[in-house]
A and B are shown apart, each in its own frame.
Chain A
Amino acid sequence: MATTTMTGSSTRTTPRRRITKPLAVVGLLALWLVAWSLLRGQDMLELPRATLTDLHHWLNDVNDSVGASRNSSPIFLYFFNEIRAVMDALVTFVQGLIAQPAYGRPVPVLGWLGVVALVSYASWVFANWRVALLAAGGFTLFGLQGLWQESMDTLALTLVAVFVSLLFGIPLGILAGVSDRFHRLITPVLDLMQTMPTFVYLAPLTLVFLIGPASATIATLIYAMPPAIRITAHGIRSVPAPPVEATDSFGATRRQRLTKALLPLSKRTIVLGVNQTIMAALAMVTVAALIDAPGLGKTVIKALQTTDVGTAFNAGVAIVVMAIVLDRVTTAASVRAEQGGGDLNPRIRRLLLAGFGLVAAFCSYLSYTYLWASEFPDGGQLGEYLSQGATAVTTWAQQNLADLTAGVKDGVTIMLLNPLEALLAESPWWLMGAVIVLLAALIGNLRAAAVAAVCVGLLVGSGLWNASMITLAMTLVATLLVVTLGVVIGVWMGRSSRVDRVIRPVLDAGQTMPAFVYLIPVVALFSVSRFSAIVAGVVYAAPVAIKIVADGVRAIPESTVEAATAAGSNTWQTITKVQLPMARQSLLLATNQGLIYVLSMVVIGGLVGAGALGYEVVAGFSQGQLYGKGLAAGVAIVVLGIMLDRIARAAAQRSDRAPSANQT
């Protein structure tokens, strides 16, 4: 009897629940619109630019007292200052090797010839001769651009940051790979490290470590270590079960299981993690120029301050070239890690390598001894041409494309941005907060709603509610554009490997280009406005989203697509009925990553007229009395990020809930 009622009621509720969910969301939005039109402009919690809340004052005080205790407090003397000393020593050491005069010499230990030879040699050893050629060409280009020393400074900082990241990241990643508990523990920390916009921790870092190469390297570490940990853990976790089970069945110890099965089977993924770490480090090292990191980033920033597009472009090219070289070499190394042999007969290869090793050693000796092999002769000619070309193009675009750019800008601003911003920022805070929490509960789950409630509380408490909502509106618009781009271009790339081959390098370049570099043309085209900030965010986030979607589409088993084609689907049907639904996981991931990337650009957007939270952070950097407010704004950005991320994830989880698998 009881059973009948149970099944009876469950069959009745299931279809109803399915229909009500979207209905409830629509209803909620409708209610919100009605309430908004009635209550518009009330309780907006606006805070004038120069006004500070008690929290902001208190943060200022903390700042002052930390600064005062740097040389007295034990935590500084025995902890932070020690870390700083170690990092400093590492950076100085590597700089002395390749970048800066050291050991009583007027030049670095290794000159350009030695570095080019050694880099090509290493590329060949770990990857293949093709990327070795690429590396040699790329590094020579730095000299031709007149940026040899700057490039080597950047490389030195990157190397140190990568070294330390991997030193800690890979063991932690292995731990997270084998231990569920540690994995659960560390995931939120990694999320935080990656979501936190770089500017947010630049400020507290300089507070603790002062400005300079050491804190730049530490900032880079924070940014570059999460991928190393995450990807290593992912690699270990996705090792196929059968070989591991077989290993267990032979009575392997935990250590044997790790060294004989898990690590060799995840080697390729781990090398891929190294690749990601290097790319992240390079991107961050250039941004860290803001806290006085030497290298190419500094050249870009200086040029930006004088709106010298040409010089910024030249340095930008060097950064991109370095990114491409490092990326290709490590990617090729990961392929090699999987396939073992290369294209050459191993014995011939060994002989050639030994010969080339001798040549590289000889070049190093030359560059140690002779000035012509140490300092790049007659550099800078090429750099001049690049600068002039870039300046000319920018000028032409400003003069001739104004109509087009203004059209796009006004279109997006009026159609999307203004209405959304009005809706979010002009709702009373309690209404907006309630809408966020309810939406989180409806499209996500109760836990997401709880997180959202806490985040809403924190945002109100930060005193920057209104600015947060304006930032949220911009973030949502930018994310929408990012996802649209991601789907359109990603599907295109996923369906055609030729398109992929053409577009992927562009995306790689876009990802490693430091944000300032493309801020220049963006500002040139769209002037200082909220839209420029959105474009900057989209340019920054779109490559990631596109790549994720492309890989997702590509990963769909060929047989499935074949089956769809066999059933007579046309291209559009194949895309909408097979490829997009099957790549849904990737779409969700792309949305989530897009959100996070856009949000981490918010501060940079503050430089080009985004206003709101981004502006507060930038202002906090430059004006001492606004430090506390800037810090609060930074925290608000992080809180926004966590909130959006948790809601998106819960929504993804909910739509993904499959019936639990049966045991055989």
Chain B
Amino acid sequence: MRTPALHGRAEGAEQRPGGVGIMSTDTAVQPRGQVNDHQTPVISVRNLWKVFGPNADRVPGSAELAALSRRELRERARCTAAVREVSFDVAPGEVFVVMGLSGSGKSTLVRCLTRLIEPTAGEVVFEGEDILRADKRRLRELRRRKFSMVFQHFGLLPYRTVVDNVGYGLEIRGAGRAERIRRATEVIELVGLDGYEHSYPDQLSGGMQQRVGLARALAGDPDVLFFDEPFSALDPLIRRDMQNEVIRLHRQVGKTMVFITHDLSEALKLGDRILLMRDGNVVQAGTGDELVGAPADEYVRDFVQDVPRADVLTLRWIMRPSRDADQLDGPELGPGVIVRDAVRTVLAADRPVRVVENGELLGVVGHAEVLDIVAGNQAGA
């Protein structure tokens, strides 16, 4: 009933944050968080550490060293802990965003997941297998078949044409030329680069180069795509195009994605769930509206303070219990509806809107609640 409308809006609205509409599940953000609880995660990270420096191994094991701040650790042990005791799960088909400012350890974290950087301690379980225990051959096999990555600086090979760049991963795993070209042509079309098959990377704009990077990652039909700040080097308009492209591709191919970014609006736009890092630690993990609605600490609160709240928060966050005075025969909306989408309905009604889930009345939303959010938001901006 309301879901189609949501989808329609999600595509049309350009600045539309929140993971809503990215996936074809018909309920909104909150329930998807619960899905993770009983679905087997694709990737499950436990107590992951990455420490750079001499004798880095001893840091995670020692309670004393592990407790030190980044600066103290550098002074005491001349080590830098880029990732500290990080744990999270990524559900199948999910877009999982790791966000943080530069130096927060997010790029190191994503490289640890495929062991492009060797983690110091912890577990990375992929489909039931601890990747950190995999031998070289197995790791290679995983990288060839299961994972692929899109890089910030594209990492294209300048002396190869687009089609050869896209077929590169297939070439590495030993596919024949005909198959490589067939598959590469397919993916090139998928990312909208048809016609450029025989161009060289330096003849393309940054956005197009990253489409090549995207196509290259998709060509091998991996289970999981890792994005390391893929759009940071692009200008804002191209970035928005590319974000929409990822959303479109995600809907089309339904891959699990782990997406690294320093850009909060990008995180809110793409992420089903977001992990916020600072100095190698996890500060908060949750859906976009959780981060905005219930920041775990001052840092997160600061971080999200400029976010247009009406665009992120759902009715669940602003509804109040119904009072006796309320007339409970107004319009009915789900708790997952975003405030902005509900404004018209709420303001048009002369009585509070009822927030209902599975036939149960969770609360009500009146003019005051909506205006609070919209006006507060404007004041904040």
A249–B140 CA distance with the chains assembled, in angstroms? 9
Please tell me which stretch of A218-226, A259-267, A286-294 contacts chain B, meaning at least 4 of its Cβ atoms lie within 8 angstroms of it. Answer: A259-267
Rounded to whole Å, the gap between the CB of B88 and the closest CB of chain A is 19
B172 within 8 A of A: yes
A247 within 8 A of B: yes
B366 within 8 A of A: no
- In the complex, which residues of chain A have a beta carbon less than 8 angstroms from the beta carbon of B152? 242
Q: Would A663 and B141 count as touching, CB distance under 8 A?
A: no
Q: Would A249 and B168 count as touching, CB distance under 8 A?
A: no
A243 within 8 A of B: yes
Contact of B103 among A249, A260, A267, A664 (CB under 8 A): A664
- In the complex, which residues of chain A have a beta carbon less than 8 angstroms from the beta carbon of B144? 250-251
Please tell me which stretch of B155-163, B249-257, B283-291 contacts chain A, meaning at least 4 of its Cβ atoms lie within 8 angstroms of it. Answer: B155-163
A624–B108 CA distance with the chains assembled, in angstroms? 66
A252 within 8 A of B: yes
- In the complex, which residues of chain B have a beta carbon less than 8 angstroms from the beta carbon of A249? 114, 116, 143, 147-149, 151, 226
- Proximity bits, A220-264, B CB within 8 Å = 1, else 0: 000000000000000000000011111111111100100011001
Interface size class of B (residues with CB under 8 A): 35 or more
- In the complex, which residues of chain A have a beta carbon less than 8 angstroms from the beta carbon of B108? 663-664
A158–B262 CA distance with the chains assembled, in angstroms? 57
A256–B174 CA distance with the chains assembled, in angstroms? 10
- Proximity bits, B103-117, A CB within 8 Å = 1, else 0: 111111000001010
- In the complex, which residues of chain B have a beta carbon less than 8 angstroms from the beta carbon of A246? 149, 151, 155-156, 168, 213, 216
- In the complex, which residues of chain A have a beta carbon less than 8 angstroms from the beta carbon of B213? 246
B304 within 8 A of A: no
B80 within 8 A of A: yes
- Proximity bits, B284-307, A CB within 8 Å = 1, else 0: 000000000000000000000000
A370–B140 CA distance with the chains assembled, in angstroms? 62
A340 within 8 A of B: yes
Q: Would B143 and A243 count as touching, CB distance under 8 A?
A: no
A662 within 8 A of B: yes
Q: Would B140 and A663 count as touching, CB distance under 8 A?
A: no
B142 within 8 A of A: yes
* Contact A664/B107 with A242-B154, A246-B149, A252-B172 known, Cβ cut-off 8 Å: yes
- In the complex, which residues of chain B have a beta carbon less than 8 angstroms from the beta carbon of A244? 155
- In the complex, which residues of chain B have a beta carbon less than 8 angstroms from the beta carbon of A248? 116, 143
A253–B141 CA distance with the chains assembled, in angstroms? 10
When C-beta atoms are compared, the residue in chain A nearest to B147 turns out to be: A249
- In the complex, which residues of chain B have a beta carbon less than 8 angstroms from the beta carbon of A264? 157, 159
Rounded to whole Å, the gap between the CB of A245 and the closest CB of chain B is 6
When C-beta atoms are compared, the residue in chain B nearest to A261 turns out to be: B157
Rounded to whole Å, the gap between the CB of A263 and the closest CB of chain B is 11
B336 within 8 A of A: no
In residues 592-633 of chain A, which contact B (Cβ within 8 Å)? none
A253–B139 CA distance with the chains assembled, in angstroms? 10
Q: Would A251 and B157 count as touching, CB distance under 8 A?
A: no
Rounded to whole Å, the gap between the CB of A418 and the closest CB of chain B is 50
- In the complex, which residues of chain A have a beta carbon less than 8 angstroms from the beta carbon of B107? 664
* Contact A242/B153 with A340-B159, A662-B103, A663-B108 known, Cβ cut-off 8 Å: yes
B196 within 8 A of A: no
B173 within 8 A of A: yes
A186–B139 CA distance with the chains assembled, in angstroms? 32
- In the complex, which residues of chain B have a beta carbon less than 8 angstroms from the beta carbon of A245? 116, 151, 155
B52 within 8 A of A: yes
When C-beta atoms are compared, the residue in chain B nearest to A249 turns out to be: B149
Q: Would A243 and B157 count as touching, CB distance under 8 A?
A: yes
A253–B143 CA distance with the chains assembled, in angstroms? 11
B365 within 8 A of A: no
B102 within 8 A of A: yes
Q: Would B105 and A663 count as touching, CB distance under 8 A?
A: yes
Q: Would B143 and A250 count as touching, CB distance under 8 A?
A: yes
Q: Would B220 and A250 count as touching, CB distance under 8 A?
A: yes
B60 within 8 A of A: no
Pick from B102, B143, B156, B157 the residue with the most CB of A within 10 Å.
B157
Q: Would B173 and A250 count as touching, CB distance under 8 A?
A: yes
A243–B52 CA distance with the chains assembled, in angstroms? 23
Rounded to whole Å, the gap between the CB of B43 and the closest CB of chain A is 15
B17 within 8 A of A: no
- In the complex, which residues of chain B have a beta carbon less than 8 angstroms from the beta carbon of A242? 151-155
Contact of A662 among B80, B139, B147 (CB under 8 A): B80
A260–B157 CA distance with the chains assembled, in angstroms? 9
Q: Would A663 and B151 count as touching, CB distance under 8 A?
A: no
Q: Would B52 and A663 count as touching, CB distance under 8 A?
A: yes
When C-beta atoms are compared, the residue in chain B nearest to A337 turns out to be: B159
Q: Would B103 and A251 count as touching, CB distance under 8 A?
A: no
- In the complex, which residues of chain A have a beta carbon less than 8 angstroms from the beta carbon of B363? none
When C-beta atoms are compared, the residue in chain B nearest to A252 turns out to be: B172
Q: Would B116 and A251 count as touching, CB distance under 8 A?
A: no
Q: Would A664 and B155 count as touching, CB distance under 8 A?
A: no
A249–B216 CA distance with the chains assembled, in angstroms? 11
A256–B169 CA distance with the chains assembled, in angstroms? 11
B82 within 8 A of A: yes
B197 within 8 A of A: no
- In the complex, which residues of chain B have a beta carbon less than 8 angstroms from the beta carbon of A261? 157
Contact of A664 among B106, B158, B159 (CB under 8 A): B106
Q: Would A251 and B143 count as touching, CB distance under 8 A?
A: yes
B223 within 8 A of A: no
* Contact A250/B153 with A260-B171, A663-B52, A663-B82 known, Cβ cut-off 8 Å: no
- In the complex, which residues of chain A have a beta carbon less than 8 angstroms from the beta carbon of B80? 662-663
Q: Would A250 and B116 count as touching, CB distance under 8 A?
A: no
Q: Would A250 and B157 count as touching, CB distance under 8 A?
A: no
Rounded to whole Å, the gap between the CB of A354 and the closest CB of chain B is 25
A267–B226 CA distance with the chains assembled, in angstroms? 30
When C-beta atoms are compared, the residue in chain A nearest to B159 turns out to be: A264
Rounded to whole Å, the gap between the CB of A441 and the closest CB of chain B is 24
- In the complex, which residues of chain B have a beta carbon less than 8 angstroms from the beta carbon of A340? 159
A379–B275 CA distance with the chains assembled, in angstroms? 82
A487–B234 CA distance with the chains assembled, in angstroms? 40
A256–B157 CA distance with the chains assembled, in angstroms? 14
Rounded to whole Å, the gap between the CB of B112 and the closest CB of chain A is 12
Rounded to whole Å, the gap between the CB of A7 and the closest CB of chain B is 10
Rounded to whole Å, the gap between the CB of A253 and the closest CB of chain B is 7
* Contact A250/B103 with A242-B154, A245-B155, A340-B159 known, Cβ cut-off 8 Å: no
A79–B16 CA distance with the chains assembled, in angstroms? 77
When C-beta atoms are compared, the residue in chain A nearest to B280 turns out to be: A663
Q: Would A251 and B171 count as touching, CB distance under 8 A?
A: no
- Proximity bits, A653-664, B CB within 8 Å = 1, else 0: 000000000111
A267–B160 CA distance with the chains assembled, in angstroms? 14
A245–B117 CA distance with the chains assembled, in angstroms? 10
* Contact A260/B153 with A251-B139, A664-B108 known, Cβ cut-off 8 Å: no
Q: Would B139 and A250 count as touching, CB distance under 8 A?
A: no
A391–B165 CA distance with the chains assembled, in angstroms? 62
Q: Would B142 and A251 count as touching, CB distance under 8 A?
A: yes
- In the complex, which residues of chain A have a beta carbon less than 8 angstroms from the beta carbon of B82? 663-664
- In the complex, which residues of chain B have a beta carbon less than 8 angstroms from the beta carbon of A247? 155, 168, 172
In residues 204-263 of chain B, which contact A (Cβ within 8 Å)? 213, 216, 220, 226
Question: Can you pick out 25 interface pairs between chain A and chain B where the beta carbons lie within 8 Å of each other?
Answer: A242-B151, A242-B153, A242-B154, A243-B157, A245-B116, A246-B149, A246-B155, A246-B168, A247-B172, A248-B116, A248-B143, A249-B226, A250-B168, A250-B173, A251-B144, A251-B169, A252-B172, A260-B172, A264-B157, A267-B159, A340-B159, A662-B103, A663-B80, A663-B103, A663-B105
Q: Knowing that A249-B149, A265-B158 are A-B contacts, what are 17 other residue pairs whose CB atoms are under 8 Å apart, sorted by A's residue number?
A: A242-B154, A243-B158, A246-B213, A247-B155, A249-B147, A249-B151, A250-B143, A251-B141, A251-B142, A251-B145, A260-B157, A261-B157, A662-B103, A663-B80, A663-B103, A664-B82, A664-B102
- Which 8 pairs across A and B sit closest by C-beta, in order of nearness? A251-B143, A246-B155, A251-B144, A242-B155, A250-B169, A251-B140, A249-B149, A242-B153
Interface residues, chain B, CB within 8 Å of chain A? Answer: 52, 80, 82, 102-108, 114, 116, 139-145, 147-149, 151-159, 168-169, 171-173, 213, 216, 220, 226
Interface residues, chain A, CB within 8 Å of chain B? Answer: 242-253, 256, 260-261, 264-265, 267, 340, 662-664
